Amino acid sequence: MNSTLTTAPGRHDHPPIQTQSHPVRRVGTLDRIALHLGVALIKWGRRPQLVQSRERRANRYEQQLARLERERQFERNYRLNTQSVR
């Protein structure tokens, strides 16, 4: 079963030639303004938040105080335990 099929010789126009042209629709000024406004709103909505909320600053301060307290307790326990070994 070694048969090979070939296409009939002929003329193939790819892509087909268009005889009629479509009128080009121009974009109006109002459409351009609306597009630029939409893009600007999307960019503005995705900007990073540089201003920290009052709650976030207070939370960070509390975390810092807790970290300092843990370090102080660790130092105290370390000194108590190392002095009792001697």
**What residues in the chain have per-residue pLDDT under 70?**
1, 5-18, 51, 84-86
pLDDT at 54: 83
pLDDT at 8: 66
Q: What share of the chain is helix, strand, coil (3-state, %, to 5)?
A: 55, 0, 45
Spatial distance between the Cα atoms of 31 and 47, rounded to a whole number of angstroms: 25
The verdict on pTM exceeding 0.75 is no
